[in-house]
Structure 1
């Protein structure tokens, strides 16, 4: 796991250890990492964001320094887990920021707990369409656990990690994310981590692609500010899903960052921190109204009228 200058703290909730970083002061930001990652994926942006916000970046169950039990690894289960962590920390409301699989958890959190969600920021998020990298679909196949056990034997793993990190330094669009992929691959040496990731992926992906989608609930974002950030060169989840988000939630703000892959917060950390800071500064936090929520549910989805807002930073 990459080193981090941020102090990792621990809480035991429902008998399972939860690791997290909490720094800064001000309105709360909850940062949720992607599949196979941990809180260190946010390392390049935490300090900038902590100048204005209280930043909470947990290791989701089954990831990083958190416990990896045989447990509920559904999107809803993760949303419950971060709610309980926030409750113990005494934080009532957050702007929730989710990357990749963490974006799916962020959307589920906002859906389950609108009274605790002020805004949503989705970063190269899952849950917006079926397409996903074949490498992620492969995790659902029989024999993945055993094959990865062989692929992560010391000599093979060291060679693979070194090769991917060397390729990541090449100025090619297809190699943008290989350094991060190498860290994920290295984490698979832990059988408990492999088992947890397999359970996570099987809950949201099958051989056809992503199962869980926000399409049928996106209209609920009418009551909640949403920002979508994507790297133009994403090879894990295609950038066209950013346009899907804009179509599903026409009041959302969409930023597509050039020369960036699946980890725009790591490729361009200062730009990412600026996008988040500006989004929070220029939007009013959602105020939960049971009556309004009831009316939205009754009315259901209404197709957008007119063009959607799609922003690209030069």
Structure 2
């Protein structure tokens, strides 16, 4: 009987391993399908994928930035760059914006480093490096003048681009980004949203973490929280876990030091905030406006949270178009 018992145990182990592989494959399959659908949607908006190698002609660490660019650039339209926040790549975060905005602008949508298909061997995890890579990629694409929209983490990147390259950046839109943020405010906010669990919030490990992230980011989160666990697990395995080590380093660098007095950019700036933002409360918008002076104005969107571009996409799109074209 002993050989049969051993054979049975071996068969059960093999079945269990196969089930785990099938589960992981299912998770990744769902994410791959969703990613493909987002890509097809961007393509239907006359956008094309494009990869820019920044260090192809040098001996420095290789850096690649992936963009979605206009399929047919029109000289009558101004250029607009959309920079996403933490979480998924640009397609997942700007699908409510791309169709509407692409009718008014030559739209450029990069994936920040370690999101989507953008990657760097350089160990620098600073906002300055992210901003420099996006700007360098745009120059390689032949873009000399453009306005920029930055969402949450992407707001830090957009702000830095405006600070460093005044000649290139015309107007700036910052959405839900705590740029003018004191150390005391940072510590208080970390206590409110989970303290040291900020890493799990931005890079979730389990479906419960994803639900917490959705609830915190979206005021109108109910429809997204209806997603079953296997869908959320697919997001974790297929999107969030890609380049996880590097993303954690980005989080650590961002949280290391709050900048109470960032540089004062000179471009006209629009600050868009949801009045139900529990990540970066509304007062931070007015704090940044006071810092920037008369060239900055605040637009508060009612019944919208941190991801105001998803809670109230029509209003956000209208605000962006009116400001950039005004």
Matches within 5 A, 1:62-211: 62-67=114-119, 69=121, 71-130=123-182, 131-132=185-186, 133-134=189-190, 138=196, 152=205, 157=206, 161=210, 173=219, 175=221, 186=236, 193-206=243-256, 211=258
- Give the match's secondary structure for 1:237: coil
Matches within 5 A, 1:207-222: 211-213=258-260, 215-218=261-264, 220-221=265-266
Q: Does 1:254 align with 2:298?
A: yes
- The structure-2 alpha-carbon separation of the partners of 1:164 and 1:129, relative to structure 1 and needing over 3 Å to count, comes to closer
- The structure-2 alpha-carbon separation of the partners of 1:69 and 1:261, relative to structure 1 and needing over 3 Å to count, comes to farther
Displacement after TM superposition at 1:184 (Å):
11
| Residue number among 39, 48, 53 corresponding to 2:105 in the alignment | 53
Displacement after TM superposition at 1:197 (Å):
1.7
- Give the match's secondary structure for 1:227: strand
**C-alpha contact 1:19 1:59 (8 A) present in aligned 2:** yes
Q: Does 1:6 align with 2:42?
A: yes
Q: Distance in 2 between matches of 1:69 and 1:187?
A: 22
Partner of 2:46: none
Partner of 1:20: 67
String of CA shifts for 1:235-270, please: whole Å, max 9, x gaps: 111111111122112321210101111111111111
**C-alpha contact 1:176 1:261 (8 A) present in aligned 2:** no
**C-alpha contact 1:29 1:94 (8 A) present in aligned 2:** yes
**C-alpha contact 1:30 1:95 (8 A) present in aligned 2:** yes
Q: Distance in 2 between matches of 1:137 and 1:185?
A: 24
Partner of 2:280: 237
Q: Distance in 2 between matches of 1:80 and 1:51?
A: 28
Q: Distance in 2 between matches of 1:113 and 1:272?
A: 25
**C-alpha contact 2:84 2:111 (8 A) present in aligned 1:** yes
- Give the match's secondary structure for 1:55: strand
- Give the total of aligned pairs: 259
Q: Kindly report structure 1 stretches of 4+ aligned residues shifted beyond 3 Å.
A: 130-133, 157-161, 172-180, 182-185, 187-192
Q: Indicate the structure (1 or 2) with the bigger Cα radius of gyration.
A: 2
Displacement after TM superposition at 1:17 (Å):
2.9
Q: Which structure has more helix as a fraction of its residues?
A: 2
Alignment RMSD = 3.3
Flag structure 1 segments of 5+ consecutive residues without an equivalent.
Answer: 283-314
- The structure-2 alpha-carbon separation of the partners of 1:29 and 1:174, relative to structure 1 and needing over 3 Å to count, comes to closer
Q: Does 1:276 align with 2:320?
A: yes
**C-alpha contact 1:69 1:192 (8 A) present in aligned 2:** no
Partner of 1:39: 90
- The structure-2 alpha-carbon separation of the partners of 1:53 and 1:103, relative to structure 1 and needing over 3 Å to count, comes to same
Q: Distance in 1 between matches of 2:180 and 2:297?
A: 15
String of CA shifts for 1:265-304, please: whole Å, max 9, x gaps: 111111111101110122xxxxxxxxxxxxxxxxxxxxxx
Partner of 2:13: none
